[in-house]
Amino acid sequence: MSMRITRRAVARLVAASVALVVSAGLVAAVAPPASASVSRATVISRAQKWVNDGVTYSQSRTHLGYRTDCSGYVSYTWVLAKPGIDTTRFPNISTKIAKGSLKRGDILLNKAAGNSGHVAIFEKWANSAHSSYVGYELSGSGIHHRTITYPYFSGYGTFVPYRYNSITGS
């Protein structure tokens, strides 16, 4: 049995291959990998955008392609791949840091799974004693840019400061 390939079939195959490559390139441009760098200014600007947009909490909905829960929010600000990672995965792409090393765009993380975990974005210290900070978070009570007791409000587990491995700037 002989197989004969026509020019039309080859042209269709080439067109489909080109479309696939172009499509894959567009997906990569929209959803950069977790290793892409992001500036601290961009993190805070993106955090404020969701506040301005009045994003509400949901583990099943998305905003701009990211889950509208705390970890989806941080994933968006750090420009991670959509729809974002969960709280248990932040230690894989960030490094635990000391309280005194916190800078804008770092996070305070309770890395527990599911509803027991939570993450907030550090912006700046709220006082000279460093007992509270101004942060961004998305929780069941909504999106907030507010003062938070360090490391987090009592009764919500253990929170530890982390820095994204690909964050830039001061």
Determine the pLDDT at residue 116. 94
pLDDT in tens, 46-95: 999 999 999 999 999 999 999 999 999 999 999 999 999 999 999 999 99
What rounded mean pLDDT belongs to the chain? Answer: 86
Determine the pLDDT at residue 12. 47
Determine what percent of the chain is predicted with pLDDT higher than 90: 78
The fold of 38-168 is: endopeptidase fold (from Nostoc punctiforme) (3.90.1720)
Determine the pLDDT at residue 4. 57
User: What does DSSP say about strands 132-139 and 118-125: parallel, antiparallel, or unpaired?
Assistant: antiparallel
pLDDT in tens, 23-47: 333 333 334 455 589 999 999 999 9
User: Which residue's entry shows tokens 């489909």?
Assistant: 16
What is the maximum alpha-carbon separation in the chain? 84
